[in-house]
Structure 1
Amino acid sequence: MKRKLEDYDEEDFLNDLDFVRMRKYDPNPNSAPATASTDQFVDQFTRHQRYDEPTASTSGSSSHLSSSSYPDRIQFFVRMISQSNTLVLYCKPEDKVKVIHEKILRVTGIPMMEQRLIYQGRQLQWEHSLAECMIRNDASLHLVGRMRSTEHPRVWHLIDELVSTVYRLFKGERGVYLKSVEAMLVEFLDVTTKKDIHANHLASHLNIFQSLCAPAALVMLYMSPHKCNKDLAEKSIRTFITSCKIGLAKPFYSQCAPVMLEFCNLLSRSAAQDDPLYKLCRSSLGSMVEDLRIGRGSRNPDGFNNRMSMIAVKDIFPFVTELANKLTDGSGINLSSNEVRDFAAFLWPVKAAIKDLPDFKGVIPVPMTYTFSCYDDEIKLLFMILFELMEKMKKCLDKVKAEMAMEEKEDSEWDQYLAILKETRGIAKLYQGAEDMFWSNMKPVDVSLRYLIVRYAKRGETYKWLIGHKNLLDFESRRHLVMLLLPEMKDEDEELHEMLIDRSQLLSESFNYISKAKPENLRGGLFMEFNNEEATGPGVLREWFFLVCQEIFNPQNALFIACPNDRRRFFPNPELRSTCFYVFVASKVDPLHLKYFKFAGRVIALALMHKIQVGIMFDRTFFLQLAGLKISLEDIKDADPYFYSSCKQILEMDPVIVDQDVLGLTFVHEIEELGSMKVVELFANGKNIVVNSRNRKEYVELLIQYRFVTSVAKQVVKFAKGYADIVGDEKIQKLIFKTLESEDHDGMLHGSESIISVEDWKLHTEYNGYEETDPQINWFWKIVEEMTAEQRKVLLFFWTSLKHLPVDGFGGLASKLYIYKSNESTNLLPSTHTCFYRICFPAYPSMAVMRQRLNIITQDHVGCSFGTW
């Protein structure tokens, strides 16, 4: 049961001080203990040994007498420098504090001048009596090293004064200024969070902060019934959190975790779990421990190991349980986005610690047939949490499936579902068979999963956990995940990479502008202008993308080869000509051909980033290589039908005939180099190995590997490098292609393959100056309906600089299209502002006149680049 503020008194504070485990202070955490006597004490005595007389021997033999035997004596505890030892001593109320120091000397051998006793946040002076110090029966005192024996006396003094002032405030003493606490804390933080602080000094400062019970004192003040005290404590704790987060780099910031853990433990005992300050401390602790390996085999940066060893799995796991219980309680999701993030932050080091166990063999057997050497309770409890989470998320996704079509019923908690699913799947990976069960639960609600991805997946989050199960997704959700991986477009004009291109030198000049630019400049955006033309803006950029891609993939330029059965699909042209099944001009005819492949990779990535459909598709063999996947026989069917047919025939031929060496094949491949034939062995001594029924499968696989992988390896590598320049790095490039199916990439790069729908066109068109019922509008749409598919493409290009619509039609464009009424002469042709998808024409007097004008602009050579801007 939580205590009410008005019930929190001095006795409660003393109990909270007892709760705080005193740490041994060592000004150099990496050094050996300062004195041998302290080590002897640690070795010889255990927690709560009783000493009733000063003559007690250091061997531990003594008579055990209760406090009731000496009614004029006080029993009290002295927590030692070592955090695991406590003395139980007896003194008379009139005895001086010096007597306690003498008893400690006799028991431990620690010199009196090195002893410092702390009670209720203040140092006890030798000349004062126990009664004057208000030491009661069963009180707890703390033994720490003297300030003058440390290299941080100023820090000791600041925190000692801070704790003493806090206690005086709590007691209600007059003449104590609230600002003095804030000033001392700020001064402490200034020296603790300075940029050039040494790792050991930071650890020492934080040790001092804990050793003098500063966290307990501030929490005591926070629980005060007096608002001014409570506000001061809250502000102080928030200042500590903010200063550490802003002033310390990540490795140093993580060293504050033991202090923050103490704040969390104290607040969880004194306040409710929904207390704002407790939630802030818990969240701060999560940010400090995330990415840290705190289990067996953990390795932290130099200088940090000692301090971080004070954080263990048993310290972190209660927060995992607390947040999991809150998450699974009730019918909905009861966690905010910050709490879900905290749940993930605390889970990570727990999972890492489990994986570091020597008896963890990659997966935890279910049912658990043996006890783990460590974390056994946590492992079993985490398994229970997993099943509660899976059951809860299944119900939540069922709800999404039932209500997602009813926008007004959409629940705001839905935006947390993906993050929770990710963490649930992360836990499932630890246990045998649990991940398969997780994905089985997702199958009946895959529609909900897709909806959540499109609606709530955010840039900056990682969705790698979905990639291995992209069969649960559809084109729209996979495309959305890929767009999150691509760089975000910027609107600042000063950051745009400017290009001025001569149409007659389109490919070569585009190559110079794109190849020589720094990748970061290209990611910032492009500004495109054709030489001697007034038109500028996004519409001209869309036109440039379409035209330059047509040139890059034009077979006459020898960079790429079109598939014989589908001239829209392309794969890289090898450097050398193959004479085996298919003859073509080698790409090596251009000395810059490899640089052009890198240029092509940049252009394609930029087109995807700008969401521009350029009418190009990749052959499956090319797509699979970019994804880092193996190519099979069925994958080459479109790239080279004759080669495919020949290989298939070899595999299906009667084994007896093959073994008679009718084919006359060995493990070689012939190519033409500089006008002469060259034989390439598919493996060492391949020319002497005859193809037979037993090795023919290997022969076909090696032939495919050479023909579609080895022969174009340099080209693919360069293309991938150019692509990676734009998306960020090679890992993201491969991740993009692994996220997509080959058909998805076709849709994103080529666009819709359907005939342009006039009805869809009309549905996404608005009017300015015209009404939908005007005769000119009726004539316009009737004429468009009469057009051929190619004429509609040219009209669309004239209007928008796009010849290919997105897969989802006009609804996939950045905005609607517009028809504007112009005041120009009816003798003039229509004009366009392609940047804004706007076509303008006057009120033509008849349908015949309008048809004649539209027929002119739908001629491909006229419609190209006819827009204004």
Structure 2
Amino acid sequence: MSAALACHRRNPKRRRDAPDHALPPSSKQPLMAHAGAGAAEPSSSASASASGADGASAAAAPPPSPREAHFFVRATDSKTIAMHAGWDDTIGAVLDHLGACGYGRDLRLLYAGRQLAPEATLAELRLPQDSTLHLAARLRSTQHPHAWQLAAHIAATAAGAESGAASVPAAAFSLDELVKDFILRAHRANLGLFRQDRGAAGEDRATGDHAAEYLDIFLQAGAALALVRLYLSKSAFRSYAESAIKCFIATDSSSLPMDVLVLTAPVLLEFCRLLSMAAGKKELLYRSCRRSLASVLSTGPRLPPTMNSPTRLIEQILPFACETVDVVLEGLASMSMMVSPIDLDEFSNFFKVMCQQARHWISGEGWMPRNLYSRESERGNTWMWRFYNMSMDMLKRLDECLKRLEMDLSLSSDSIGVTEGQTIWAARSHILVVLTELDFISAIYEEVGHNLQLVLMAHRAPLNALVRCSKRNERLHWLVKHKNLLCFEARRNLVFMMLPEGKDDFGELHEMLIDRSHLLDESFNYIAQARHSELRGGLFMEFKNEEATGPGVLREWFCLVCQALFSPKQVLFSPCPEDKRRFYLNETSAVDPLHLKYFTFAGRIIGLALMHKVQVGIVLDRTLFLHLAGRSITLEDISVADPVKYASCKRILEMNAAEIDDLYLTFSRGAHELGTRETIDLCPGGQDISVNIRNREQYIDLLIKNTFVDSISAQLTHFTQGFTDILVNPDRRKEFFECLDLEDLDRLLGGSNDTINLQDWKSHTQYNGYKEKDRLITWFWKQSSACQWSNRGSSSSSGLQ
């Protein structure tokens, strides 16, 4: 049967790649096709036009004749063709016409997951108006036919409710139930409960593939578009469309299982496109969809197959990310400089995804080439330039905020109490969140990183105030790179964020009952044998036959255990000759068969002491500190642990060639092992290699490495593991020590030798049930000023509780 065609682009502003065709008219009922990629396509970016301005014009057009069918065909090249045909036209005539238009031969048309017979007429098929058919080549079977049928039913129900068709309203009440059923089917298909949802050859596919295919069917069948059109209409059933759309926003696992939730990004993206264009950016449902899109993209373990291209994904979400940036910039520019937590989370989620995808696009560890985001790139309006421009706008706004905060510092210190001041600065922690995002972006754009460093250096005072008062946030670890800008209190707060908080509820605490006469053995059994998860919850202890409990008793226990554990009698640690409070590992500890377990115990004790903020009166040697920090040990680092070896090595470096030759040194060293002396090679065949003026530096490096690392490697491993057991994230051990200098760790574990600053103590004191002018408090400070206080083993900022 012949067919006639008169074509034009239905929405030329949205898509410019649709072909124009013109065939001579037929003697029969005309078959007309309007070719335009996305004129009313539900699953492409141009589908928004059907619910926006173009959708409005379509709604205003007169309805087709009763003898005409109006439907859409999704071609294999992702273009959508709007067609008008007579009811007595066959599917074969439609296929012949599409073939004549250049879409090829041997084609098939699908609807609701079924292949349509070429001899069937449109009247026999009873296709609903505005149906979407799919063009395929040599189709032999259709995967997920039930998904196609259910998605088409959802689309038809929503379309009928929008138009007010008499046969639809009863089904419209259950739109959300239909969507939930569709989501449940996608989840069950992932679990392999539908035999027909296996691959063509019957093989299983990776978890999540079926759910992604189901959601793609939901879009291709026009269900998303139909739901949005119903929601935007004046129909009495629009609220049911809203409930159905919200099914993709829900976090309830009963309505949106996690394996489906992580793949809903394409559907949410389609909802965002349609709603933003037709309803506006202030529409509550749109904003909910946008937040969910950001959350799903940032937390999903993998992206759906349709979003695997970094460039494509960034281009798709960039308009929505720009909106969140505008919200954050507006909040920072206000008098309060406040940004709501919801807006901040959405902003962070979008930028997390964009940074990840930009890094994938760069495919390397370096920065993006500057020529891709220079001012000349502005003309091209590329995503690289727009992302960079957004980042610089945020950095400028943060610079202004930090300047304002710097002016507030004097006010907060002079006329606001300590507690109130900390609360105010903690409420501004969102500024650190925005700085964190800029740090991630600085790994992509070198210029952003350079300017960020300049801003932080220019505003050290407010930066330190923000970090000191910030609440626990593991994303602030990037500040380790800028630790030279941070004061001790700020660095201390950063490392405490890496330690567990502990629980106040006794039911969550690891309880211990210790006999003082067996202090070390019983403490070892309680700590070394416990699971690390139990220790992270906190400790509650008491001594046998004693009623006292509480923080004071726990502090005493820590100090007593450390005194016993680090005692030279235990042969686990050796005190430094010039500082008896400083300890390093003893290489002869193997005399105790349990020495490795005790090193694990010791590492846990040190971690727990830091976690509970107890200063135990002992400190670690620099060699042990550097090992925990993952750094190499040099000659200058051993000066305190082994001053004799240090002096000998310095002397060798100062000798001339003849003096070194007279020493008859080889690349080996002597060591005592269980009462015997043995010779250890510093390198293969070391006893046969003489030390001379050319290799003396290599000899000294190997000697230090063997003495302070290789010979005690097992002890170091167990001590490090014990300490790592206490950290919230064991992978951040090196960051923990990178954030600290040795002097910082000394203050955390051993206190300070300096005289207590009474004024500093008073300014950091919290009065629980008292006032500063009370007679008892006045008397206390008067007596304190008359005494000589030393805070060795105690904290100057602990306060009066």
Q: TM-score, normalised by structure 1?
A: 0.72
Is residue 418–residue 457 contact of structure 1 (8 Å, CA) maintained in 2? no
Alpha-carbon distance between aligned partners in 2 of 1:434 and 1:695, rounded to the nearest angstrom: 45
Correspondent of 1:265 among 260, 264, 273: 273
Alpha-carbon distance between aligned partners in 1 of 2:77 and 2:84, rounded to the nearest angstrom: 21
Correspondent of 2:367 among 360, 363, 368: 363
Alpha-carbon distance between aligned partners in 2 of 1:450 and 1:88, rounded to the nearest angstrom: 62
Say whether residues 1:552 and 2:560 are aligned partners. no
Say whether residues 1:316 and 2:306 are aligned partners. no
1:64-463 to structure 2, matched below 5 A, reads 78-82=72-76, 84-87=78-81, 91=85, 95-96=86-87, 98-99=89-90, 102-108=93-99, 114=110, 126-127=122-123, 142-144=132-134, 150=142, 152-172=144-164, 176-177=169-170, 179-194=173-188, 197-198=191-192, 199-225=208-234, 229-242=237-250, 252-290=260-298, 305=305, 312-328=313-329, 331-332=333-334, 336-357=340-361, 362-368=366-372, 377-407=382-412, 414-432=428-446, 434-459=448-473, 461-463=474-476
Alpha-carbon distance between aligned partners in 2 of 1:719 and 1:129, rounded to the nearest angstrom: 76
Is residue 189–residue 243 contact of structure 1 (8 Å, CA) maintained in 2? no
Alpha-carbon distance between aligned partners in 2 of 1:361 and 1:679, rounded to the nearest angstrom: 45
State the AA in 2 paired with 1:649: R
Alpha-carbon distance between aligned partners in 2 of 1:112 and 1:680, rounded to the nearest angstrom: 80
Instruction: Tell me whether 407-416 or 393-402 shows the greater mean CA deviation.
Output: 407-416
State the AA in 1 paired with 2:569: Q
Q: 1:678: which partner in 2?
A: 678
Instruction: Tell me whether 676-685 or 468-477 shows the greater mean CA deviation.
Output: 676-685
Alpha-carbon distance between aligned partners in 2 of 1:431 and 1:143, rounded to the nearest angstrom: 45
Question: How far has the Cα of 1:486 moved from its partner?
Answer: 1.0
Change in 2 beyond 3 A, CA 1:507/1:453: same
Q: 1:493: which partner in 2?
A: 506
State the AA in 2 paired with 1:202: A
Change in 2 beyond 3 A, CA 1:417/1:202: same
Q: 2:669: which partner in 1?
A: 669
Instruction: Tell me whether 308-317 or 542-551 shows the greater mean CA deviation.
Output: 308-317
Alpha-carbon distance between aligned partners in 2 of 1:15 and 1:46, rounded to the nearest angstrom: 9
Question: How far has the Cα of 1:381 moved from its partner?
Answer: 2.5
Change in 2 beyond 3 A, CA 1:359/1:619: closer
Q: 1:540: which partner in 2?
A: 553
Alpha-carbon distance between aligned partners in 2 of 1:243 and 1:292, rounded to the nearest angstrom: 13
Instruction: Tell me whether 95-104 or 414-423 shows the greater mean CA deviation.
Output: 95-104
Alpha-carbon distance between aligned partners in 2 of 1:715 and 1:211, rounded to the nearest angstrom: 62
Question: How far has the Cα of 1:529 moved from its partner?
Answer: 1.8
Change in 2 beyond 3 A, CA 1:428/1:349: same
Is residue 105–residue 112 contact of structure 1 (8 Å, CA) maintained in 2? no
Q: Deviations over 1:141-200 (max 9, x none)?
A: 631389997565554444333333323333345682452323333333333345964444
State the AA in 1 paired with 2:267: V
Question: How far has the Cα of 1:224 moved from its partner?
Answer: 2.8
Question: How far has the Cα of 1:608 moved from its partner?
Answer: 1.2
Question: How far has the Cα of 1:388 moved from its partner?
Answer: 2.1
Alpha-carbon distance between aligned partners in 1 of 2:298 and 2:11, rounded to the nearest angstrom: 28
Change in 2 beyond 3 A, CA 1:314/1:761: closer
Instruction: Tell me whether 381-390 or 335-344 shows the greater mean CA deviation.
Output: 335-344
Change in 2 beyond 3 A, CA 1:196/1:377: closer
Q: TM-score, normalised by structure 2?
A: 0.78
Is residue 292–residue 349 contact of structure 1 (8 Å, CA) maintained in 2? no
Higher CA-based Rg = 1
Q: 2:794: which partner in 1?
A: 805
State the AA in 1 paired with 2:132: H
Question: How far has the Cα of 1:259 moved from its partner?
Answer: 0.9
Aligned to 2:263, the other structure's residue is in SS state: helix
Alpha-carbon distance between aligned partners in 1 of 2:461 and 2:254, rounded to the nearest angstrom: 42
Question: How far has the Cα of 1:544 moved from its partner?
Answer: 0.7
Aligned to 1:569, the other structure's residue is in SS state: strand
Question: How far has the Cα of 1:437 moved from its partner?
Answer: 3.3
State the AA in 2 paired with 1:415: S
Alpha-carbon distance between aligned partners in 1 of 2:713 and 2:729, rounded to the nearest angstrom: 19
Q: Deviations over 1:282-317 (max 9, x none)?
A: 121122222669xxxxxx59xx64675796332233
CA RMSD, 1 decimal:
4.3
Is residue 399–residue 455 contact of structure 2 (8 Å, CA) maintained in 1? yes
Change in 2 beyond 3 A, CA 1:245/1:451: farther
Alpha-carbon distance between aligned partners in 1 of 2:786 and 2:94, rounded to the nearest angstrom: 108
Aligned to 1:160, the other structure's residue is in SS state: helix
Question: How far has the Cα of 1:115 moved from its partner?
Answer: 5.3
Aligned to 2:583, the other structure's residue is in SS state: strand
1:751-770 to structure 2, matched below 5 A, reads 751-756=751-756, 764=765
Segments of structure 2 that go 5 or more residues without pairing to the other structure are 1-8, 29-63, 100-104, 115-119, 193-207
Question: How far has the Cα of 1:749 moved from its partner?
Answer: 1.4
Alpha-carbon distance between aligned partners in 2 of 1:309 and 1:246, rounded to the nearest angstrom: 31
Question: How far has the Cα of 1:734 moved from its partner?
Answer: 2.5
Alpha-carbon distance between aligned partners in 2 of 1:534 and 1:224, rounded to the nearest angstrom: 73
State the AA in 1 paired with 2:668: V
State the AA in 1 paired with 2:797: G
Is residue 500–residue 726 contact of structure 2 (8 Å, CA) maintained in 1? yes
Alpha-carbon distance between aligned partners in 1 of 2:381 and 2:669, rounded to the nearest angstrom: 59
Alpha-carbon distance between aligned partners in 2 of 1:555 and 1:498, rounded to the nearest angstrom: 29
Question: How far has the Cα of 1:619 moved from its partner?
Answer: 1.3
Identity %: 35
Instruction: Tell me whether 722-731 or 99-108 shows the greater mean CA deviation.
Output: 99-108
State the AA in 1 paired with 2:455: N
Alpha-carbon distance between aligned partners in 2 of 1:471 and 1:548, rounded to the nearest angstrom: 34
Instruction: Tell me whether 414-423 or 594-603 shows the greater mean CA deviation.
Output: 414-423
Question: How far has the Cα of 1:405 moved from its partner?
Answer: 4.4
Aligned length, in residue pairs: 711
Q: Deviations over 1:475-514 (max 9, x none)?
A: 1111111111111211232232222221121111211221
Change in 2 beyond 3 A, CA 1:201/1:244: farther
Segments of structure 1 that go 5 or more residues without pairing to the other structure are 1-13, 22-44, 57-70, 119-123, 294-299, 576-586, 794-802, 818-869
State the AA in 2 paired with 1:651: L
Change in 2 beyond 3 A, CA 1:463/1:245: farther
Aligned to 1:556, the other structure's residue is in SS state: helix
Alpha-carbon distance between aligned partners in 2 of 1:713 and 1:632, rounded to the nearest angstrom: 17
Alpha-carbon distance between aligned partners in 1 of 2:688 and 2:455, rounded to the nearest angstrom: 55
